[in-house]
Structure 1
Amino acid sequence: MWVSDDEKAAVYLAASAGFCFGVHRAVDTVYDQIKEGQTPICTYGPIIHNEMVVADLKQHGVMEIDDEAQLSGITEGTVVIRSHGVPERVYEQIKGQGLKLIDATCPYVKKIHQIVKEKSAEGFQIVIIGNAHHPEVEGIMGWCSSPAIVIGTEEEAQKLVESGIQKPLCVVSQTTFNLKKFHKLVEIITQLRYHESAILNTICNATEERQTEADAIAHIADAMIVIGGRNSSNTQKLVDICRKECESTFFVQTFDDLNLRLVPSRGIVGISAGASTPNNIIEEVSKQCRKTILLNRC
Structure 2
Amino acid sequence: MQNNGSAGKKVILLRPRGFCAGVVRAIDVVKIALDVYGAPIYVRKEIVHNRHVVEELKGLGAIFVDDLHEVPAGNRLIFSAHGVSPAVRSEAKERQLEVIDATCPLVTKVHLEAVKFARQGYGILLIGHKEHEEIEGTYGEAPKNTFIIQTEADAEAVQVPNPDRVCFLTQTTLSLDETRGIIEILRRRFPKVEGPKSQDICYATENRQMAVKAVAPLCQLLLVVGSQNSSNSKRLVEVCGKTGVPAYLIDDKSFLKEEWLQGVNTVSVTAGASAPENLVQDLIQYLMDRGFGTMEEMDIVDEDVRFQLPHELQGGMVKLTTITTSTAAPATI
* TM-score over 0.5 for the pair: yes
Amino acid at match of 2:186: I
CA contact (8 A) 1:224 1:246 kept: no
**Is it true that 1:286 corresponds to 2:284 in the alignment?**
yes
Amino acid at match of 1:253: D
Gaps of 5+ in 2: 295-333
Q: Call closer, same or farther: CA 1:219–1:164 in 2, change over 3 Å.
A: farther
Return the match for 2:256 from 249, 258, 278. 258
Q: Call closer, same or farther: CA 1:74–1:292 in 2, change over 3 Å.
A: same
Q: Call closer, same or farther: CA 1:20–1:180 in 2, change over 3 Å.
A: same
1:98 Cα deviation after fit: 1.8
Q: Which residue of 2 aligns with 1:59?
A: 59
Q: Which residue of 1 aligns with 2:16?
A: 16
Q: Which residue of 1 aligns with 2:182?
A: 185
- Give CA deviations for 1:18-43 in whole Å, capped at 9, x if unaligned: 11111111011001111123343111
Q: Which residue of 2 aligns with 1:166?
A: 163
Provide the C-alpha distance between the structure 2 equivalents of 1:225 and 1:231, rounded to a whole number of angstroms.
Answer: 16
Q: Which residue of 1 aligns with 2:150?
A: 152
Provide the C-alpha distance between the structure 2 equivalents of 1:164 and 1:145, rounded to a whole number of angstroms.
Answer: 14
Provide the C-alpha distance between the structure 2 equivalents of 1:118 and 1:67, rounded to a whole number of angstroms.
Answer: 28
Provide the C-alpha distance between the structure 2 equivalents of 1:253 and 1:135, rounded to a whole number of angstroms.
Answer: 20
Return the match for 2:88 from 61, 72, 90. 90
1:119 Cα deviation after fit: 0.8
Q: Which residue of 1 aligns with 2:193?
A: 197
Aligned residue runs from structure 1 range 30-109, under 5 A: 30-68=30-68, 70=69, 74-109=72-107
Q: Call closer, same or farther: CA 1:39–1:149 in 2, change over 3 Å.
A: same
Amino acid at match of 2:167: C
- Give CA deviations for 1:40-88 in whole Å, capped at 9, x if unaligned: 31111110111111122222221122135x35x5213211010000001
CA contact (8 A) 1:14 1:272 kept: yes
Provide the C-alpha distance between the structure 2 equivalents of 1:7 and 1:183, rounded to a whole number of angstroms.
Answer: 40
1:173 Cα deviation after fit: 0.6
Provide the C-alpha distance between the structure 2 equivalents of 1:3 and 1:11, rounded to a whole number of angstroms.
Answer: 11
Q: Which residue of 1 aligns with 2:235?
A: 237
Provide the C-alpha distance between the structure 2 equivalents of 1:66 and 1:147, rounded to a whole number of angstroms.
Answer: 26
Q: Which residue of 1 aligns with 2:217?
A: 219
CA contact (8 A) 2:156 2:189 kept: no
1:226 Cα deviation after fit: 1.1
Specify which structure has the bigger relative contact order, considering alpha-carbon pairs within 8 angstroms and separated by 6 or more residues: 2
1:240 Cα deviation after fit: 1.1
Q: Secondary structure at the match of 2:37?
A: coil
Backbone CA RMSD of aligned residues: 2.4
- Normalised by the length of structure 2, the TM-score is 0.81
1:259 Cα deviation after fit: 2.6
Deviates more, 1:263-272 or 1:55-64: 263-272
**Is it true that 1:269 corresponds to 2:237 in the alignment?**
no
Q: Which residue of 2 aligns with 1:175?
A: 172
Amino acid at match of 1:240: E
CA contact (8 A) 1:39 1:77 kept: no
Q: Which residue of 2 aligns with 1:27?
A: 27
1:3 Cα deviation after fit: 7.6
Provide the C-alpha distance between the structure 2 equivalents of 1:193 and 1:257, rounded to a whole number of angstroms.
Answer: 45
- Normalised by the length of structure 1, the TM-score is 0.90
Q: Secondary structure at the match of 1:198?
A: coil
Q: Which residue of 2 aligns with 1:228?
A: 226
Amino acid at match of 2:193: S
CA contact (8 A) 1:222 1:246 kept: no
